Amino acid sequence: MKCKLAVITLLFSIVSFGQSDVNGKIKTEIVQKYELGYALHIPENTKEKKTLIIFLHGSGEKGTDIEKVKVHGPFKYLKTHELDAYVLAPQCPENEYWNEEVLYRLILKIQKENNIDSNRIYLTGLSMGGWGAWNLAFAHPETFAALVPIAGFVDRVPMIEDCKIKDIPTRIFHGLLDDVVNADYSVTIYKKLKSCNANVQLTLFDDANHDSWSRVYDNQEIYDWMFQQIKK
């Protein structure tokens, strides 16, 4: 019995002394495929460089029916008015959310294929699109001359990195009665941007629920304001 115990102890000692730490590196590439439909309004005179408005819709317009992206926002406005600008409205696939890198690649594609003034690209969105607009602006702040998020949720990272977009003129809109996305998100990010000396305005509609966007997009004033902004 003593002999067996000694053998077991010896084996345990050998295993213990055989342990070691290994440091290494791995290089790999993960490829993901995305398909994103979009509607593009092209102005009449494209010989001169034109501005580009990018509109991100809300969760109710997801899917493959591209006509849904024209229910709200600039495309709705274009049904009865004219805008001397390119207007891009991508459509988020069903069961997905806005991916800022996919959106950025779409913007580069549209820029390459059209006569767009790179110093006058404007980003706006409502609800889920407002959330997407915040994230896209923080991911690529060098791209945009103006930002107009409406009734949008704000992620934790933008709340922390607020000064990253301090050079983008921003107008925020939200309804105080919003029971889908609390207006506190817009109030908080507004205060943080103000502390960075950013050019930012916040408009709170005391009589609006979640739809605080119709009165904004259906009015020429917001487009006039956008067109005045030129990237520094």
Work out the burial of residue 61: count CB atoms within 10 Å of its CB; fewer than 13 is exposed, 13-18 middle, 19 or more buried: buried
Question: What is the number of domains present in the chain?
Answer: 1
71, amino acid identity: V
pLDDT in tens, the chain (232 residues): 444 444 444 444 445 556 778 788 777 776 677 889 999 999 998 999 999 999 999 999 999 999 999 999 999 999 999 999 999 999 999 999 999 999 999 999 999 999 999 999 999 999 999 999 999 999 999 999 999 999 999 987 667 777 899 999 999 999 999 999 999 999 999 999 999 978 999 999 999 999 999 999 999 999 999 999 999 7
Q: What is the pLDDT of residue 87?
A: 98
* CB-side neighbour CA atoms (13 Å) of 160: 3
Q: What is the pLDDT of residue 216?
A: 98
Token pair 């304001």 in the structure block, residue: 225
Examine residue 114 and state whether it is found in any structural domain, yes or no: yes
Examine residue 40 and state whether it is found in any structural domain, yes or no: yes
Examine residue 4 and state whether it is found in any structural domain, yes or no: no
pLDDT in tens, 144-154: 999 999 999 99
Q: What is the pLDDT of residue 145?
A: 98
Q: What is the pLDDT of residue 2?
A: 43
Q: What is the pLDDT of residue 30?
A: 65
Rounded Cα gap, residues 177 and 205, in angstroms: 8
Q: What is the pLDDT of residue 220?
A: 97
pLDDT in tens, 45-91: 899 999 999 999 999 999 999 999 999 999 999 999 999 999 999 99
Examine residue 22 and state whether it is found in any structural domain, yes or no: no
Q: What is the pLDDT of residue 229?
A: 97
* CATH code assigned at 135: 3.40.50.1820
Examine residue 52 and state whether it is found in any structural domain, yes or no: yes
* CB-side neighbour CA atoms (13 Å) of 232: 7
Q: What is the pLDDT of residue 59?
A: 95
Domain that holds residue 51: 34-228
Examine residue 21 and state whether it is found in any structural domain, yes or no: no
Distance set, CA 26 to CA 21, 29, 31, 160 (Å): 16, 10, 16, 31
3-state secondary structure the chain: CHHHHHHHHHHHHHHHHCCCCCCCCCCCCCCCCCCCEEEEECCCCCCCCEEEEEEECCHHHCCCCHHHHHCCCHHHHHCCCCCCEEEEEEECCCCCCCCHHHHHHHHHHHHHHCCEEEEEEEEEEECHHHHHHHHHHHHCHHHCCEEEEECCCCCHHHHHCHHHHCCCCEEEEEECCCCCCCCHHHHHHHHHHHHCCCCEEEEEECCCCCCCCHHHHCCHHHHHHHHHCCCC
- Whether 119 and 230 have beta carbons less than 8 Å apart is answered as yes
Backbone phi and psi for residue 34, each to the nearest 5 degrees, phi listed first: -125, 145
Examine residue 16 and state whether it is found in any structural domain, yes or no: no
Examine residue 111 and state whether it is found in any structural domain, yes or no: yes
Q: What is the pLDDT of residue 97?
A: 95
